[in-house]
Structure 1
């Protein structure tokens, strides 16, 4: 009887000791099967195109196929929510832009927050620019400020949607100027650009690809330094208003991902972003490749989330 008990205890001890070894081995072998990359928008949009530009290089660097799964809807929050509730094993990650993470949680009740994710790597960072609409009654930034101060809501500005990154940046600028503008929301950058070309709005904020495609002038940039493709255009900081903002995105995973898996993805991400093929694809999309590891990526988005909370509260939009 005593011998049987001892054998059972020994077997149990071996079993308990084996589980951590098996888990460690599984992490060491990561990835041993395809990795699902959730894009929180339908195919064809900027986030989807950037994910597909990264896909080939990420597959090569990881040694496993990266499969893109589009889960659009609710301003990107449906796809990000799927990533947040996925098994934290590194086999479901997401490519998310900033707005679903740094703005939408302040606008609506969601099943996730910043702490729901493991931030893996920033992939692209597109500084926003202040674009002049056709037939506006001013031609430069100083003229815009004077016009905005001439009467309440004299300045008519557009955005690709209330609570969008572009709306928030324009609201922050107006607050810094101490003026009020008339906001005209659109369903996206395309309709907004057409309205600017038609003289229906005077200014708007967007990525530099929009004025490049439409021929509309740029009054200022929200970048830290002057942009290489707009060397004559001043930054808002140069103009006396230290406001920076961009449409940025990167890879995220569910909180609780194993450190080993996260480190593997970060290394693969750094290699992929530095590759010629990704940089060339990004340039064709008028995007700026930029790698930041997990800690820097999270700090960047957390600072933006804090700013958005304040701006959206001032606008009466924060919940």
Structure 2
């Protein structure tokens, strides 16, 4: 593996910063990145240049991020998938150790969405239908091994039903597939379900958080656990950089993103997406990576989801 070279400058940053989004345009990670893009010149002193690199449930984008020079000019949006991908087999980089967190921005529990024209009012209705029609229902997700894929497969295992998975490259494609009738279930984040739910086109029938959302739009959406399905999803969005950033660059980024994420207007815009700001600094983010890594490893192994996804990736 080639050694990374670091270009030092007298003042960081003195040019635009690339932000890799490892999923397609219009998905939750992309929407969060676009909000960061608006605030970056104020808080970082340079613009963020968004580059979408979808594919392999985030792995293509994170490979590029991990292989970039640790000079602060290439950053990436991260999610729990950086912890999941190495579990499925050999990856080009071991993301939890090849990357270092700069900040956690928000939590993003997964939700199960169906069209309002469908008869299913809750998970029990959906489970009963799936048992009567094994293998006929399809659920869309943002790539093999993505967090919403894991939640979808965990739901099927928990409920003892057969539903077919259909991978896409972004949550926006997942929602488009649901709206087009190509799939009957979408496992997605609140950011993609909110507008369709408000319009009445989509019905959200389960949320993966430990308790109901404080967002008025989602207040009546029951959790999985309320409906007898033992799933608590700990999804999140964050910012990471290649390992071994110079300390002064890391501090500049950490301070800039902290101020940006805690800005009242940024918070308001995040909440308008149906997400909740949950800022963590680099140290707290690193601790969460370790904690979630252990929990997710246990979950996918004990439920059999790990073996299922490994076979689907072949």
Question: Which position in structure 1 is the counterpart of 2:18?
Answer: 37
Contact kept in structure 1, 2:174 and 2:188, CA below 8 Å? no
Question: Which position in structure 1 is the counterpart of 2:91?
Answer: 110
Root-mean-square deviation over aligned CA pairs: 3.3
Deviates most, 219-228 or 102-111: 102-111
Query: Are 2:172 and 1:170 aligned?
Result: no
In structure 2, what is the Cα distance between the partners aligned to 1:70 and 1:106? 26
Q: Which runs of 5+ in 1 are unaligned?
A: 1-25
Instruction: Work out the number of aligned pairs and report it.
Output: 291
In structure 1, what is the Cα distance between the partners aligned to 2:158 and 2:104? 28
Q: Which runs of 5+ in 2 are unaligned?
A: 1-7
Question: Which position in structure 2 is the counterpart of 1:142?
Answer: 124
Q: Deviations over 1:168-227 (max 9, x none)?
A: 111011112233223344555455445534555432211224443332111110112211
Query: Are 2:250 and 1:262 aligned?
Result: yes
TM-score by length of 1: 0.75
TM-score by length of 2: 0.77
Query: What are the equivalent positions in structure 2 for 1:236-251 lying under 5 Å apart?
Result: 236-245=224-233, 248-251=236-239
Offset at residue 272 of structure 1 (A) = 0.6
Aligned residue among 207, 210, 224 for 1:221:
207
Q: Deviations over 1:55-107 (max 9, x none)?
A: 35344334x314425152434434322322333343433233443x2344445
Distance 1:308 1:79, change over 3 A: farther
Question: Which position in structure 2 is the counterpart of 1:183?
Answer: 165
In structure 2, what is the Cα distance between the partners aligned to 1:57 and 1:199? 37
Offset at residue 30 of structure 1 (A) = 6.2
Query: What are the equivalent positions in structure 2 for 1:1-319 lying under 5 Å apart?
Result: 31=12, 33-34=14-15, 36-41=17-22, 44-46=25-27, 47-62=29-44, 64-70=45-51, 72-75=53-56, 76-99=58-81, 101-107=82-88, 109-113=90-94, 114-150=96-132, 152-153=134-135, 155-186=137-168, 188-190=170-172, 192-197=174-179, 201-214=183-196, 215-227=201-213, 228=215, 229-245=217-233, 248-302=236-290, 303-304=292-293, 306=297, 310=301, 311-315=305-309, 316-317=311-312
Pair member with larger Rg: 1
Contact kept in structure 2, 1:130 and 1:204, CA below 8 Å? yes
Offset at residue 134 of structure 1 (A) = 4.6
Offset at residue 132 of structure 1 (A) = 2.3
Offset at residue 252 of structure 1 (A) = 0.7
Question: Which position in structure 2 is the counterpart of 1:5?
Answer: none
- Paired residue secondary structure (2:221): coil
In structure 2, what is the Cα distance between the partners aligned to 1:57 and 1:134? 36
- Paired residue secondary structure (2:227): coil
